[in-house]
Structure 1
Amino acid sequence: MHRTFETTTERRRQTLDGPWEFVTDPDDEGREAGYHEDFPSEAADRIAVPSSWEARTEHADYVGPAWYRRTFGLRDAGSVLVTFHGVAREATVYLDGEELTSHVGGYTPFTGLARDLDAGEHELVVRADNTHTETTVPHDDVDWFPHGGIYREVVVEAVPDVFLRDLALEYELSGDAATVDAEVTLNNLGPRPAEPELAVSVGEATVAESVGVDGMDAQTTTVTLEIDDVDRWTLDDPTLYDVEAELRGAQSEDREGETFADDLRDRIGFREVAVDGRDILLNGEPVSLAGVNRHEDHPDWGAAQPLRIQQQDLDIIQRAGCNTIRCSHYPNHPRFLDLCDEEGILVIEEIPLWQVDESTVTGCEQVGQQTLVEMVERDRHHPSIFAWSLSNECANEQRTVADATSQLREIVDGLDDSRLVTVASNADWEGETDRAFQYCDFLCVNAYWGWYRDDGDWSEHLDRIEDSYDEKPIVVSEFGAGAVPGERTHAGRKWSETYQAELLADCVELFRERDGVAGFTVWQFCDTLGNPDHAMTRPRSRNNKGIVTEYRRPKDAYWTLVDLLDGRR
């Protein structure tokens, strides 16, 4: 299940977890050879979906296209939605030998609609390619491991001729009351007009009305609900409200007497986020952010982390006393975001525009914008997400890069103006001025004083940032040091747990003392597998800046953070 709750009760659905046939295609001959019509089953291995293929020893270093195949059955004839919640990085999907849909971008879902399928068995074939270049998103030199394959869930849902395609909620709060606008999109696959009954519920409040939609067409309608005595979502009391859109109606004349039903379910939490001077406000009160950066990475699971690992990660982070997670550097699994909603954890979610400059920004721009739209549309109802981050460590001193950020800001404002917007920048650490900060509600600052450089310090660095930009909240979004697990020295040398813990303590104490700093997120939560091209420059081929190891064993820095934040030992 890709969420912590059911997203529909009316649709007959299949989650296609389990073994798929799998074959790599290093010479990229599969399309010309017609693998989508005649899959080479005799040469195929079997691989679990969801999973990263690099998590298997025999494919640990494979980069390039690979092909998947499996079948599924339909009890009744009809139409289905086939949703892939994450395929890295480029995917083409074939159903019964015909292309159904394609997608570029490994961190957001995509759906294909298959109409009028016969009852019985059907074949899905997927070509996935994890090749990265200097203009892909992310590009080929990213500082994390570019996992490949179908690493999130695949879901097949049977839908009636008239079905719910989308549900988007916006709300305004006035004291204890909320006004909710629910925008609902219907699709009619049949040739005749339909006028089903639509009911939308938020908690105990319900509004129902008839909605007309022409044959072979779509219709978007907005209904408004008034909710009194709202319990706001807070860190201490993360109240969530169930949301449901339900559609019911009579079938067309040639199926007289038959009815259809469809529904979509989600959750929301009512809260307001804003900035005031150097403060970030949650429900009108300043909140001090204390957190970590988290990659989706595990030695046994790759990027395909099961619920148990997600729950364990969140528990470890909470026990450290943290209240914030930065999803570095891409949209995390929606089920992990559900857990953050339930536990009262604040989230900064980011698109994977990482260290883009003027030579590559044009090639990355379209996919970056697409990923931003898909991220916001997927995650707009999570109350835990208080900010969207548009990039990380891009060359924001360059006008073309800043102009691209301006366009992203316009896009996100058009989709969702209820959250803050930021970018994570190391421009000032590199001695430059960040042109993109003018488009941000708060400033995320990355620097590694005491690790990569010793010619300055955090106090002077923050003084310069406060003097260089308009008065906005500052969040130290990356800082830290690497530590090889078990390495401890009396001298506290670099790469020791001792050095990492001492640097972390000095930084956190400084950040918490400064009025201009609204919070911090340590780089990083756990040690992660690095880009294979960087393997010779890092111990154990990993980014070892985690406060816990890749298997989540605590380093000295973790216990230091527990003590500083009054966490639980």
Structure 2
Amino acid sequence: MNTRLIVGLTEAWQFQTDVDRRGISQQWYNAGLPEARSVQIPHTWNVDQGFEEYRGLAWYSYELEISEAWQGKLLRLQFDAIYRDADVWLNGQKVGAHYHSGYTAFVLDITPYVRYGQANRLVVSVNNENSELALPIRNSFDWADDGGIIRDVSLIVTGMTAIDYLKIDAIPFFTDHSKAVESGTIQGEAWLWGKGNEDNLPITLKMLIWRADKLVASDEYDLLADKGMLRLKPLVIAQPELWHFDHPHLYTVQIILLSDGIATDQLSLNVGFRELKTVGNELLLNREPVRLMGVEWMPGSHPDKGMAETEADLIEVLKQIKHANCVITRFHWQQSSHLLDWCDRNGLLVQEEIPHWQQPSEPDDHLLVIAKQHAEEMITRHYNHPCIYAWGMGNEVNGQDAQTIRYMKQLKQYILTLDGNRLINYVSNSVHFKPESDATGVGDLLMWNDYIGTWHGELDMEEVIHSIDEAYPNKPLVVAEYGLCEPAYTGGDPRRIEILQEKTKEYRKHKGIAALIFFSLNDYRTQMGEEGSGRLRQRVHGTTDVYGKPKPSYQALREIGAPLSLQEVFREDDQTLTVVLGNRNDIPSYSISGYQLVLAMEEGTETILDIPPLAPGESCQLSLPIHKASLLDTCFYSINRPTGFSAANGLLPISVREQLEREVRLD
């Protein structure tokens, strides 16, 4: 058997709602579900006909086969997310519970409860009723509250000395404050599961670092656990390749534990060397000042899937984000590791947030306990993702109130004990009122939801931005939301495009604005929706509809986010075509390298030209041979990023095509 065996538990679950709350009194956790139907995990009942509005109790059951060969092993169940309050039984015995947080993973030890060599009845009760204790609180949140086992379930089989989670730092060291990287270190902590090392035996720890399929560093040493934690010795990597949204270079860290000479567990994960920090009002990625274009996506919006999206469903939307030239995003609530893995591999910067949303207006110490639970569960499971540049403490929670400011300061101090390396932010919809006394000032970045002209009324946007700059001259500003919500505000997609274009034009003038995150990529399902009903209740806020079909505003977003543009195309002589490309120097603004220009000069024939590295504001000329017999009416170009996503594409400008076609006809 492998040192760590992971068994996915997705097929052949049984499901039943419990509208009358008979399950506990009739002991469904022991007797089974009397009127169940088969479902596949992930699953939510809130896209099922007749249960779209059901908020209450439901039950799941699964026949879990436990091999005789697993005796003496540690057996754990991992639930990637259950929305929201869950109780878990195995063979009629209570194994554990998870309350108040519906989007974070949790793990339960089932070793004492299993029956080897036979099927074991696993039963889970789930309740998605509104709660005064959970986050998000009550029904004051603007997304779907789909109940169910909404993400994957797996069985983890290891030796008794096992890893709970890893916290790995990949730290680059730059030469003399330049962008040149001299070396890097991989270091961190391995946290053990429970009392897996209760005999206090020496643990031999092996650490291997891989780049692609090449082993680049390794070490082996003995340790004693300190309060369940093993501190990893730093491993030096010479001139590591940096992680960047255009160059998402990853290294694989493999940790193997041996207890008393016997391998008991191993865990592999990807990390990326990157540095993201603020200097004054600039945001620096790997020592380069950058200004980024982004968009926010509200998952769980497809009416047929809801929050029970598969990894394949998530990836399709993530590709839309990248195709829209958006390299930064944020999520109002915690996401799955599968989603973040894709962002690691494909280069998308993410702020993952604790789901505070507008309520309560005066957060208190009791709620702080729940927020700390969210922070701990989010950070311990997602610490290693290089795509995560910041942790979010919440969104629009009465930011001008002194109690909110105190609350966010306390929460930030706690998050710093979990992760002292990333940015920590609070997103405000009130900083424009009185910037110097707003909770977003607690964060490392200022994050402002700007709805001047709609939700925020008619204000002078330029004056507002200047007032924020004056209040915080040493912090970059991120416009964390801007856009149009229908039917609350009229004008449809043409007005959405107008807001996108006009506001972006103004933001580009202000150098203290480090990033824009348009809201939103998609129309989204939400229990607060003004349009539709049932599983189609939604807010019409997006550049795509709830099924992912693009609107004209999607193309407008893509064009605004393009770092490179086709500035000029001309013919130097009978055999040479020259293309002039320019790199933007406002928003977006970042150096590019590894880009390519692809030209299809005739059907079935492609010419690929490497675009030289360009700093913001620089341009280049690329020339290529052409033939008079070319099919110039189908001369198609594409500017491709190193990740393979297109930054811009289309036909050559009409005037140029017409000129070339005319010359062909004359010849």
TM-score, normalised with respect to structure 1: 0.90
Contact 2:362 2:398 in 1 (8 A): no
Question: Could you tell me how far 1:280 is from its partner in structure 2?
Answer: 0.7
Counterpart of 1:399 in structure 2 is 402
Q: Distance in 1 between matches of 2:79 and 2:155?
A: 9
Cα distance in 1 for residues equivalent to 2:77 and 2:534: 41
Residue by residue over 1:353-399, the C-alpha shift from the partner in whole angstroms, topping out at 9 and shown as x without a partner, is: 11134445444322111101111111111111111111100112222
The CA deviation at 1:190 is: 7.5
Whether contact under 8 Å (1:350, 1:389) holds in the other structure is: yes
RMSD: 2.5
For structure 1, which segment, 43-52 or 404-413, has the greater mean C-alpha deviation from structure 2 after superposition?
43-52
- Call closer, same or farther: CA 1:541–1:432 in 2, change over 3 Å: farther
The residue number in structure 1 matching 2:178 is none
**Matched residue, 2:292:** 289
- 1:451 counterpart SS class: coil
Which among 125, 147, 154 is matched to residue 127 of structure 1? Answer: 125
Are the counterparts in 1 of residues 427 and 440 from structure 2 also a CA contact under 8 Å?
A: no
Aligned partners of 2:266, 2:415: CA distance in 1, in Å?
Answer: 27
- Is 1:505 the counterpart of 2:505 in the alignment? no
In the alignment, structure 1 residue 241 sits paired with structure 2 residue 241: no
Partner of 1:300: 304
Q: Percent identity?
A: 26
Q: Trace 1:307-326 onto structure 2 (pairs within 5 A).
A: 307-326=311-330
The alpha carbon displacement at 1:431 in A equals 6.1
In the alignment, does 2:444 pair up with 1:441? yes
**Contact kept in structure 2, 1:136 and 1:363, CA below 8 Å:** no
Q: How many pairs were matched up?
A: 543
Choose which of 208, 211, 225 in structure 2 pairs with 1:201: 208
Counterpart contact for 1:178–1:228, Cα < 8 Å:
yes
1:334 to 334, 337, 360: 337
Which residues of 2 match residues 449-468 of structure 1 at below 5 A?
449-468=452-471
Q: CA deviation at 1:47?
A: 2.4
Larger radius of gyration: 2
**Unmatched tracts of structure 1, length 5 or more:** 1-7, 252-258, 485-492
Q: In structure 2, how many angstroms separate the alpha carbons of the residues matched to 1:538 and 1:52? A: 14
Match runs of 1:58-457 below 5 Å: 58-75=50-67, 76=69, 77=71, 78-104=73-99, 105-116=101-112, 117-119=114-116, 120-139=118-137, 140-175=139-174, 176-187=182-193, 189=196, 192-203=199-210, 204-212=216-224, 218=228, 220-250=230-260, 259-297=262-300, 298-327=302-331, 329-429=332-432, 434-457=437-460
Q: Measure how far apart 1:430 and its partner are.
A: 5.7
SS in 1 for 2:325: coil
Task: Give the one of 19, 29, 42 matched to 1:26.
Answer: 19
CA contact (8 A) 1:357 1:398 kept: no
Deviations 1:37-96 (A, max 9, x none): 222x33222222112221222321110111111111111224301110000011111111
Question: Match of 1:254?
Answer: none
3-state SS, counterpart of residue 87 of structure 1: coil
What amino acid is the match of 1:210?
D
- Please say which of residues 474-483 and 423-432 is displaced more in the overlay: 423-432
Q: Deviations over 1:286-337 (max 9, x none)?
A: 111211111112222111222222222122111211111111x111121111
Secondary structure in structure 1 of the residue aligned to 2:43: coil
Matched residue SS, 1:367: helix
**What residue identity is the alignment partner of 2:235?**
L
SS in 2 for 1:173: strand
Relative to structure 1, is the Cα distance of residues 213 and 383 closer, same or farther in structure 2, using a 3 angstrom cutoff? Answer: closer
Distance in 1, Cα, partners of 2:424 & 2:221: 36
Higher normalized contact order (CA 8 Å, seq sep 6+, divided by chain length): 1
Match in the other structure for 2:648: 568
Are 1:357 and 1:401, in contact at CA under 8 Å, matched by a contact in 2? no
Corresponding residue number in structure 1 for 2:578: none
CA-to-aligned-CA distance 1:180-225 (integer Å, 9 cap, x gap): 32312335548745334210123321111123469xx945343221
CA distance in 2, matches of 1:464, 1:186: 49
Once the two structures are TM-superposed, the CA of residue 240 in structure 1 deviates from its matched residue by: 0.3
Q: 1:201 to 1:143 in 2, by over 3 A?
A: same
What SS is found at the alignment partner of 1:30?
coil
**TM-score, structure 2 as length reference:** 0.77
> How many Å separate the matches in 2 of 1:316 and 1:360?
36
Q: Tell me the residue number matched to 2:177.
A: none
**Cα 1:414/1:110, change in 2 over 3 Å:** same
Seen in structure 2, the aligned counterparts of structure 1 residues 300 and 361 have a Cα distance that, compared at 3 Å, is farther
- C-alpha deviation, 1:551, in angstroms: 1.2
CA gap of 1:332–1:568, structure 2 versus 1, over 3 A, is farther
Separation in 2 of the partners of 1:295 and 1:421? Answer: 21
Pick the aligned partner of 1:44 from 23, 36, 42.
Answer: 36
Name the stretch that deviates more: 157-166 or 263-272.
157-166
| Consecutive unaligned residues in structure 2, runs of 5 or more | 175-181, 211-215, 563-646, 650-667
Q: Distance in 1 between matches of 2:402 and 2:2?
A: 50
Tell me the secondary structure at the aligned position of residue 34 of structure 2. helix
Cα shift readout 1:223-246 (whole Å, capped 9, x = no counterpart): 221221211111221110001110
Equivalent of residue 523 in structure 1, options 515, 519, 522: 519
> What is the DSSP-based 3-state SS (H/G/I as helix, E as strand, rest coil) of the residue aligned with 1:26?
coil
**1:504-531 superposed Cα distances (whole Å, 9 cap, x missing partner):** 1111121122212111101111111121
